Structure 1
Amino acid sequence: MRLVKADIKNFRKLKNCSLSFSSDQTILVGANNSGKTSAMKVLKLFLKHESSNEGFKYTDFTFDNWGQLNKRAQFWLNETVIMNAEEELQEWKNLCPTLDLIINVESSEIHHVIEFLPSLDWDGGLIGLRLRLEPKNIEELRNDFVELCHENKRVMSENGQIELSNLWPNENIQEFLSRHLDKYFKIKSYVIDPYVKETEELILDTSEPLKGLIKIDVIGEDAGFFNSNGAKNLLSTIIQSFYKSHFDNDDRRKTANDLVAIRAVNDSKSAFDTTLTETFSEILSEIRDLGYPGSKNDPNISISSKIDQIETLGHESAIRFKINNDDGEEEIKIPEGLNGLGFRRLISITLTLIDFRESWLRSNRLDQEPIEPLHLVLIEEPEAHLHAQVQQVFIKKAYETLCHGQPSHCRTQLLVSTHSSYLARELDFSNLRYFKRKNSDLIPHAEVVDLSKTFDENASQNEKFVTRYIKTTHCDLFFANGIILVEGDAERLLVPHFIKNHFPKLNSSYISILSVGGAHAHRLQSLIEKLDLPCLIITDLDSVIKTIQMDEEGNIKMNKDNTEKVKYEKCIPLLNKGQLTNNDTLIKWFPMKDQVDDLLKLGYEEKANGNIRVSYQTQVSFGFKGEQKIAFPYTFEESVYFENRPLINTVFKKDINKDDKRIKATGVLLKMIKAEECEDVDHFRQNIFSALDSNKVDMAMDLIYGLEPKELKTPQYIDEGLSWLENKIIGVDELIKGEINEVC
Structure 2
Amino acid sequence: MRVVHAEVTNFRALRDADIRIDSSTSLIVGRNNSGKTSFVNLFEKFFSSSEDAKFVLEDLTTSRIADLEHARRLFGEAEQHAAAGDEETSEVLRSKTVELVPAISLALTIDYNEEDDLAPISAVILDLDENCHTVRIVATLAATEPRKLLADFWEAGKRAGERFDSYKWLRRKFKDYFTATYRAVSPVDDSVTRELKPSAVRAILAVRFIYAQNKFDDTPADKTRTLSKTFEAYYRSSSTDERRGRNIDQIEEALASASTELDANYDEIFKPFLDDLHTFGLGLVTPLHAPRIVSLIEGSAVLRGSTRIQYPSGDAQYPLPEGHNGLGYSKLIFTILQVRGFIESCDQASPQPALQILFIEEPEAHLHPQMQETFIKNIENYIKSKTTRNVQVVITTHSSHMVARSGFAKIRYFDATGRDITIKDLSTFQANVKKTGDGKETLRFLEQYMELHRCDMFFADKIILIEGTAERLLLPKMIARCAEGLQRQYVSVIEVGDAYAVRFRELLKFLNVKCLIITDLDSVDPSKPKRLGCRPDTPNAHTSNSTLKKWLPGKDTITSLLETTTEGKISNNVRVAYQVPERPDGPCGRSFEDAFIIANAATLATNLSSLALKRHFVRTVGDNPSKLTIEARAYDIAENLRDHKTDFAFDAMLLNDWKVPRYIDEGLQWLTRP
State how 1:433-582 maps to structure 2 within 5 Å: 433-439=412-418, 444-455=419-430, 456=432, 457-458=434-435, 459-547=439-527, 567-574=530-537, 577-582=539-544
Q: CA deviation at 1:643?
A: 0.8
Inter-partner Cα distance in structure 2 for 1:581 and 1:690: 17
Deviations 1:506-563 (A, max 9, x none): 11111011010110001001111111111000001111222497xxxxxxxxxxxxxx
Deviations 1:251-309 (A, max 9, x none): 99xxxxxxxxx9x967926999xxxxxxxxxxxxxxxxxxxxxxxxxxxxxxxx96976
Partner of 1:9: 9
Matched position secondary structure for 1:5: strand
Matched position secondary structure for 1:449: strand
Inter-partner Cα distance in structure 1 for 2:179 and 2:241: 35
Inter-partner Cα distance in structure 2 for 1:89 and 1:207: 29
Q: Which has the larger radius of gyration?
A: 1
Q: CA deviation at 1:434?
A: 1.3
Alignment partner for residue 184 of structure 2, among 178, 186, 191? 191
Matched, 1:21 2:11: no
Partner AA of 1:83 in structure 2: E
* Aligned 8 A contact 2:359 2:394 in 1: yes
* TM-score, normalised by the number of residues in structure 1: 0.75
Q: CA deviation at 1:668?
A: 6.0
Q: CA deviation at 1:31?
A: 1.2
State how 1:313-352 maps to structure 2 within 5 Å: 313-315=306-308, 318-321=309-312, 323=314, 333-352=319-338
* Aligned 8 A contact 1:518 1:540 in 2: yes
Alignment partner for residue 633 of structure 2, among 684, 687, 693? 684
State how 1:253-272 maps to structure 2 within 5 Å: 268=257
* Aligned 8 A contact 1:581 1:595 in 2: yes
Cα 1:146/1:701, change in 2 over 3 Å = closer
Matched position secondary structure for 1:536: strand
Inter-partner Cα distance in structure 2 for 1:251 and 1:397: 38
Q: CA deviation at 1:406?
A: 0.8
* Aligned 8 A contact 2:182 2:201 in 1: no
Q: CA deviation at 1:228?
A: 7.6
Matched, 1:206 2:197: yes
Partner of 1:725: 671
Cα 1:38/1:674, change in 2 over 3 Å = farther
State how 1:103-142 maps to structure 2 within 5 Å: 103-107=110-114, 108-142=116-150
Q: CA deviation at 1:424?
A: 2.3
Partner AA of 2:175 in structure 1: D
Matched position secondary structure for 1:240: helix
RMSD over aligned Cα, in angstroms?
3.4
Inter-partner Cα distance in structure 2 for 1:668 and 1:15: 61
Matched, 1:650 2:601: no
Cα 1:117/1:727, change in 2 over 3 Å = same
Alignment partner for residue 393 of structure 1, among 366, 374, 378? 374
Partner of 1:636: 592
Inter-partner Cα distance in structure 1 for 2:133 and 2:417: 33
Inter-partner Cα distance in structure 1 for 2:599 and 2:106: 57
Deviations 1:218-266 (A, max 9, x none): 01233233488777444333222221221245599xxxxxxxxx9x967
Partner AA of 2:193 in structure 1: L
* Aligned 8 A contact 2:482 2:668 in 1: no
Matched position secondary structure for 1:438: coil
Cα 1:118/1:719, change in 2 over 3 Å = farther
Cα 1:249/1:145, change in 2 over 3 Å = farther
Matched, 1:595 2:557: yes
Deviations 1:321-358 (A, max 9, x none): 3646xxxxx86754434333322332222222222222
Cα 1:122/1:265, change in 2 over 3 Å = farther
Deviates more, 1:458-467 or 1:468-477: 468-477
Matched, 1:147 2:155: yes
Matched, 1:361 2:323: no
Q: CA deviation at 1:683?
A: 8.3
* TM-score, normalised by the number of residues in structure 2: 0.83
State how 1:35-114 maps to structure 2 within 5 Å: 35-47=35-47, 49-78=48-77, 79=79, 80=81, 81-83=89-91, 91-92=99-100, 95-107=102-114, 108-114=116-122
Inter-partner Cα distance in structure 2 for 1:573 and 1:219: 58
* Aligned 8 A contact 2:328 2:365 in 1: no
Partner of 1:158: none
Matched position secondary structure for 2:181: strand
Cα 1:674/1:481, change in 2 over 3 Å = farther
Cα 1:676/1:227, change in 2 over 3 Å = closer
Q: CA deviation at 1:69?
A: 3.2
Inter-partner Cα distance in structure 1 for 2:307 and 2:259: 23
Cα 1:308/1:65, change in 2 over 3 Å = closer
Deviations 1:52-92 (A, max 9, x none): 52211111111122333332332222222433799558724
Partner AA of 2:673 in structure 1: N
Cα 1:387/1:524, change in 2 over 3 Å = same
Matched position secondary structure for 1:590: coil
Q: CA deviation at 1:393?
A: 2.8
Q: CA deviation at 1:401?
A: 3.5
Cα 1:105/1:672, change in 2 over 3 Å = farther
* Aligned 8 A contact 1:666 1:702 in 2: no
**Equivalences, count:** 615
Inter-partner Cα distance in structure 2 for 1:718 and 1:270: 71
Partner AA of 2:204 in structure 1: L
Which structure shows the bigger proportion of residues in helix conformation?
Answer: 2
* Aligned 8 A contact 1:486 1:539 in 2: yes
Alignment partner for residue 715 of structure 1, among 650, 661, 664? 661
Partner AA of 1:136 in structure 2: T
Inter-partner Cα distance in structure 2 for 1:703 and 1:352: 52
Alignment partner for residue 379 of structure 1, among 345, 357, 360? 360
* Aligned 8 A contact 2:502 2:547 in 1: yes
Deviates more, 1:678-687 or 1:605-614: 678-687
Inter-partner Cα distance in structure 1 for 2:615 and 2:511: 39
Q: Which runs of 5+ in 2 are unaligned?
A: 82-88, 245-250, 262-297
Cα 1:359/1:674, change in 2 over 3 Å = farther
* Aligned 8 A contact 1:116 1:128 in 2: yes
Partner AA of 2:64 in structure 1: N
Cα 1:515/1:478, change in 2 over 3 Å = same
Cα 1:390/1:674, change in 2 over 3 Å = farther
Partner of 2:85: none
Matched position secondary structure for 1:212: helix
Deviations 1:202-226 (A, max 9, x none): 2424234522211100012332334
Q: CA deviation at 1:600?
A: 0.5
Inter-partner Cα distance in structure 2 for 1:175 and 1:379: 34
Q: Which runs of 5+ in 1 are unaligned?
A: 153-163, 253-261, 273-304, 325-329, 363-367, 550-566, 622-627, 654-661, 729-744
Inter-partner Cα distance in structure 1 for 2:631 and 2:329: 64
* Aligned 8 A contact 1:667 1:699 in 2: no
Cα 1:359/1:670, change in 2 over 3 Å = farther
